[in-house]
Structure 1
């Protein structure tokens, strides 16, 4: 499997190789890539994680529909947004 690796020079004699969130450094670009390869082979690897596809916020959707303060809150947000959008320095 091929993995794209970003290699960048950090300072005069330091290079960093990065794949995903795994980084390694070396005195040359090749050293950095070799160190990264060793990290990946040495037990660090990237795994895929399955997350639920449903929206977790749906469980609380509509909780405020009967709250007497809900309409006041919506009105306050609308007023604030309109004031900010009317302000040329915003």
Structure 2
């Protein structure tokens, strides 16, 4: 298992990126979910921004979810189980 400070730092970085840069999928890349991050990024860019509000809302919700979980719950859900969406 990763150290508690690593988990806490990753949780904080992913949560803040999800809230601020959710439409670009940066929070997915922080967690190592490259496929999901690329989907969000390409949907936002290739639709000329039409899908960006939807992707931004997904990022906002996921960022809040990340930050509201305990470190152990975050680890179990997003690091160990690799839950990519919500």
- TM-score normalised by length of structure 1: 0.26
- TM-score normalised by length of structure 2: 0.27
Tell me which protein shows more helix as a share of its residues.
2
Q: Which has the higher contact order (CA 8 A, sep 6+)?
A: 2
Tell me which protein shows more strand as a share of its residues.
1
Q: Which structure: larger Rg?
A: 1
